[in-house]
Chain A
Amino acid sequence: MSLTLENVTQIVDGQYYINNANLTFESGSFNVLLGRTLSGKTSLMRLMAGLDKPTSGRVLVNGLDVSGVPVRKRNVSMVYQQFINYPSMTVFDNIASPLRLAKESEAVIKQKVIEISDMLQITPFLSRMPLELSGGQQQRTAMARALVKDADIILFDEPLVNLDYKLREELREEMRELFARRNTIAVYATTEANEALALGGTTTILHEGQIVQSGPTAETYHKPCNVIAATLFNEPPINMIPGRITKTEVTFDNTVHFPRTSELQSLQEGDYQFGIRPSHLSLLPKNDDDLEISVQVEVAEISGSETFLHVRNPHFEMVLHLSGVHNYTVDEKIKIYVPTHKLNVFHEDGNLIQACSRRVEDNYHG
């Protein structure tokens, strides 16, 4: 099975909710929609589910136009942010409800419900009412209901956002394992870059109703096609520095100069934007092509194992994502090191010209 959106546009009250979306998802795939609040994730899912009709363009299932087919006739499930269950039914009956609608025999229902609840570890609660359960258990019940009917398409609209951090971590892992064995198209909307990375599969980045980039998650992360994708798909957001390439050297904001490295050799002279991931910056020179920049510490956010160091100089602000604990006082003057081969080079209009190169190191603990 496949789900294709072809030039899909949705306009509501003159506003573009979705602007010319083209996407194809294959069955057995896990697809993440990444974007800010109101970027169009929910709108896109509603179009996929058939809850809304596109203003123009077509939604194809297996190559057939299903734009006019009502939701009930499509085999679609949806899981929402809020834990939506039937409050007056037991967990068992909640999970069984789609099967009962499909007029399955009680024996089949029982077997399927047990199977799915085992998988989601809610079997002990089957006879309870949803409101007697914890948030995580309620959301597992909603998920079980979506999963039990072997839907062709399962849509998750930020399902973990109302759950505890640790629980999210666990459910994410479970979901990945759950879908590895299924022949469904799973679509999962989130605002968090880390969640997209943890879920794997493919990632589609949405911004203001437009698809910015779509592809295998790791590839989308490592090769962001433009500034927006790079900013959205990194936590903390990628550092952007305006700069210029001349015949011999590269300048950041007329203040920092360094000779063109081999990676930057092929680029034409002109103005560019350089993106550097917070995790690629360091406090000690590590590579032969490292660029030294003097900055002032603005604030250091220190977790038990990592430090997010916010620094600035008169021209730009940057954040460093460092492993280990590094204590600094405010306004302290320090030097940071930018590995120039790790620079992502963007055109002035924001499009990627060159992604950072990935030199895999042989030593395991450098």
Chain B
Amino acid sequence: MKKTKSNKAWFLVLPVFILVAFSAIVPLMTVVNYSIQDIFGATRYFVGVEWYREILNNSRLQDSLVRQFVFSGSVLLIEVPLGIAVALMMPKAGKWSVVTLLVLALPLLVPLNVVGTIWQIFGRADIGLFGWGLNALGMDYNYAANPMDAWFTVLLMDVWHWTSLIALLCYSGLRAIPDAYYQAASIDRASNWAVFRYIQLPKLKSVLLIGVLLRFMDSFMIYTEPFVLTGGGPGNSTTFLSQALTKMAVGQFDIGPAGAFSIIYFLIILLVSWLFYTAMTHGDSK
């Protein structure tokens, strides 16, 4: 496609720049500022990369970083295939497609802390349907005491909450594929798998890219739901990065290390997102 060039465009983008400056760049610079100083009341010293060194060597934070990666990885591995599968199974037209769309959209409308509360009650072995049910089936399930159960519940909650997003994105992507492709495939006697592999998946690539990036970033920054559900426990087993950060910054007023932590956190998200982006768009131009 042809692009149009005009310098006037810059004026139109200017308000956005100012907005971004105030909403992102200025706070970010403040954090950078904190991260290289030791602040104690009104006194502050310049400490260079001291806080960064400390953060990187902090074993508790290392643990939550690993935990975070495992969590985000699991989320992507479960939600993306599941979302695609749901989208593939959704009715293509008629009133049932409207109904399924509505049902799918529902979890997305629930506020984060409510999601946590719902699952907190839902999973309780005494009064929660889910927890009680599992126990009734003979399983020894208690998310408040058993780290594995806590992990399982947090993951399940996230899957329940966010798979819809992937499904809806994929559904719109699938609808955009012209019928001729399916006709051609059936004439070529392509199996259902081949139709998926060579028609649907390639055409879903761009929406999947958005979906994967959104889910990665969101899950990597998850805070509210596990905080409400498990409070990070039992022990530290479900303490993810953002919760560790909050503890450090708000709980202990270690503003310097917290600043360094934030910057590292931010860079990790940026780096991984970039990796996803390049990996998924690689090969387009060949």
Q: Which residues of A contact B (CB under 8 A)?
A: 12-13, 17, 42-43, 46, 51-53
Contact = CB atoms under 8 A, between A and B. Distances in A.
Interface of B: 2-6
A43 B2 CA distance: 8
A12 B3 CA distance: 7
Contacts, number: 14
A13 B4 contact: no
Contacts of A46: 4
A53 B2 contact: no
13 contacts: A12-B2, A12-B3, A12-B5, A13-B3, A17-B2, A43-B2, A46-B4, A51-B4, A52-B4, A52-B5, A52-B6, A53-B5, A53-B6
Nearest to B7: A53
Contacts of B4: 46, 51-52
Nearest to B5: A12
B4 to A, nearest CB: 5
A340 B2 CA distance: 44
Nearest to A11: B5
A17 B6 CA distance: 15
Nearest to A70: B8
Contacts of A13: 3
Contacts of A12: 2-3, 5
The interface centre, meaning the residue of A42, A46, A52 with most chain B CB atoms within 10 A of its CB, is A52
Nearest to A42: B2
The interface centre, meaning the residue of B3, B5, B6 with most chain A CB atoms within 10 A of its CB, is B5
Contacts of B2: 12, 17, 42-43
A37 to B, nearest CB: 12
A43 B6 CA distance: 14
A110 B3 CA distance: 39
Contacts of A43: 2
B128 to A, nearest CB: 51
A39 to B, nearest CB: 12
Given A12-B5, A13-B3, A53-B5, 11 more contacts: A12-B2, A12-B3, A17-B2, A42-B2, A43-B2, A46-B4, A51-B4, A52-B4, A52-B5, A52-B6, A53-B6
A18 to B, nearest CB: 11
A12 B4 CA distance: 8
Nearest to B4: A52
Contacts of A51: 4
A72 to B, nearest CB: 13
Contacts of B5: 12, 52-53
B47 to A, nearest CB: 47
B83 to A, nearest CB: 33
Nearest to B3: A12
A53 B9 CA distance: 13
Nearest to A12: B3
7 closest cross-chain pairs (CB), A and B? A52-B4, A12-B3, A12-B5, A43-B2, A53-B6, A12-B2, A17-B2
A34 B6 CA distance: 27
A43 B5 CA distance: 12
A85 B183 CA distance: 32
A53 B6 CA distance: 8
